[in-house]
Amino acid sequence: MRLFAELRYVFPFRLRVSKDLNQFLDFRLPYDYDDYLKSHLSQYANMNQKRLKAQYEGFEQGPIRPPSEAYSLLIRVTRNCPWNRCTFCPVYKGSKFSIRPVAHVKQDIDAVYSFIEKFRELEDAFGHINRFELRDAFRHIQPGQIQAFQAALHWYAAGMRSIFLQDANSLIMKPSELLEILRHLKSRFPQADRITSYARSHTVARISDEHLRSMAEAGLNRIHIGLESGSDEVLRRAKKGVDKHTHIKAGVKVKSAGIELSEYVMPGLGGRELSETHALETADALNQINPDFIRLRTLAIPSSVPLFEEYRSGRFEKLTDLMIAQEILLFIENLNGIDSMVVSDHILNLFQEIEGRLPGEKEHMLKPLREFLKMDPQRRCLYQIGRRIGIFTQLSDMENPRRLAKVEKTSRQLGITSDNVDDAVDELMRRFV
C-alpha cells in the first residue's frame, strides 16, 4: 500500500525532512478580515451560520506553514486567507475563506491523539516501533482516517514538540473559540513545548491585551507576522492592508502579552524606486518592536500573482541580486537597539548564512554581503547560479573545487554569463514558487 511505502525510512529512526524542500512550501501571507467584513457583512453572517451547521468531513490540513514549523503538528482552524489581496502572494487566490467550527477542529485533534496513543502502545523499551508491527496494527485503516494517521505519524516521528495552527490568520477567530482550541490541545498534548500561528498585524492590533494574555496562558507562545515592509508607501502599493503604525502596535502587543514574535521581511518588495526607503523604514519599525525573530523572505514574482503584470509592463522594476544584497546590507546596518535573532531560512534567499543575534553578531551577518558585493562580476554570477540550483548554500561553498566546477559546467551549458545572469535567476526563482 502507498500509505506504508515510506515507513521503512521512518522507524526505528526519527523522521528527517529535507530543509530546502520544506523551504519551498512557505510563502508569506497577509491575513485579515476587517475590510472583508465591512463590505461583505451579510455574506459573513450567512457563512458563519453555514459553518456551524456544516458536517464534519474528516481531518484537514492547509497548504503552507513556516519552514521553522517543519516538524510541527499542523492543525487547521481556518481555511485560506480572509484578506487575500497582497500583490506578491500566490497562495489562496480564488479560494474562499472560512472559519472551521470549533467542534470540527477538536475532532481533528482527537483523531491525532487517538493515533498517537496507539503508537505509544507499540513502542519498545527504547521508544522505537517495529515497522512491521505498525503496518499490521493499521492495516485496515479507513480512507477518511489516512490524513490524520499521516499527520500523527509525522509528528510522532519528529518528537511531538510543536504545533502550528493553520491557515493564514488563526487569530481572526473569536478569542473564546481560539482559547477553547488551545486548551484542548494542551489537554491532549501536554508535552508540546510550542503552539504557534500566523497572524496579521491588523488583526492583532484589535485584540484586547487581556485576550492576548489569555491566549499566552492557554499555550499560544509564538506568533508569525508578515511585516514585509515598514514603509507605508511600499505597503500601500503591495496592497498589504496595514500601515507601519499598526505593524508596530501589533508587534508591541504580542511582546507585551509574553508571546514570542517572528516578523517576516521581504527584501525587494519596494522595487528599485523604493529600495532605500523600504530598507530604512523596515529597520525603523523593527527597532520599535524588537521581535524575537526577524526572518528574511526575498521577493519572487511568479506569473500567478497580481504584481507580475506590473513587472511585465515595467511599472515595477525588480531588484537584481546585486541590488538585493545592497538593500539587505543597508537594512541590517540600521537595525539598532534590539536583541532580535535574524534568520535567512528560505530557499529563495541568496544568503542562507545570514543568521545571528543582534547586536553582537551584526558584523558576522554583514560579512557575506560585503564579500558578495566585492566579487568580480563573473565570480558573483557563479555564486548566483550555484545558489539557485542548490549546489551552494553559502559563499564558502565556492571554495569546494567540485561544487564550483559543477556550477561552471552548468553555466556554460546554459549559456549564462554575468551579462544575462539576472534573467536566468529570475526564471529559476519563478520556478521555485
Shared domain check, 161 and 71: yes
421/277 same-domain check: no
Domain boundary among 344, 359, 374: 374
Instruction: Assess whether 265 and 395 both reside in one domain.
Output: no
Within this chain, do residues 185 and 322 fall inside the same structural domain, yes or no? yes
Q: Is the pLDDT of residue 433 over 70?
A: no
pLDDT beyond 80 at 360:
yes
Q: Are residues 328 and 424 in the same domain?
A: no
Question: Are residues 331 and 402 both part of a single domain?
Answer: no
Domain that holds residue 242: 2-374
2 pLDDT higher than 50: no
DSSP letter string, 229-279? -S-HHHHHHTT-S--HHHHHHHHHHHHHTT-EEEEEE-TTTTTTTTHHHHH
Tell me, yes or no, whether 155 and 202 share the same domain: yes
Q: 246-264 pLDDT, tens per residue?
A: 999 999 999 999 999 999 9
pTM of the predicted model as reported, rounded to 2 decimal places: 0.85
Express each pLDDT in 323-332 by its tens digit: 999 999 999 9
Task: Give the count of beta carbons closer than 10 Å to the beta carbon of residue 359.
Answer: 13
Whether 370 and 382 share a structural domain = no
Instruction: Let me know whether 357 and 418 are in one domain.
Output: no
Average pLDDT across the chain, whole number: 88
* Cα separations in angstroms, 33 against 36, 44, 67, 386: 5, 10, 25, 41
pLDDT (tens digit per residue) in 265-293? 999 999 999 999 999 999 999 999 999 99
- For residue 219, pLDDT over 60 is answered with yes
Say whether both 397 and 334 belong to one domain.
no
When comparing pLDDT for 308 and 426, which is higher? 308
Please check whether residue 333 is in contact with residue 325, taking contact to mean a CB–CB distance below 8 angstroms: no
Rounded Cα gap, residues 230 and 128, in angstroms: 48
CA gyration radius, the chain: 23
Above 60 in pLDDT, residue 64? yes
> Based on the domain organization, do 293 and 432 belong to the same domain?
no
Integer angstrom CA distances of residue 361 from 335, 390, 395: 12, 26, 18
Q: Is the pLDDT of residue 1 over 80?
A: no
pLDDT at 114: 96
CATH code of the domain containing 238: 3.80.30.20
Percent of the chain scoring above 70 in pLDDT: 87
Structural domains in the chain (count) = 2
3-state secondary structure of 397: helix
Q: Kindly tell me if the per-residue pLDDT of 23 is higher than 50.
A: no
**Mean pLDDT (whole number) for 81-91:** 94
Whether 322 and 290 have beta carbons less than 8 Å apart is answered as no
320 and 211 share a domain? yes
Is residue 140's pLDDT more than 70?
yes
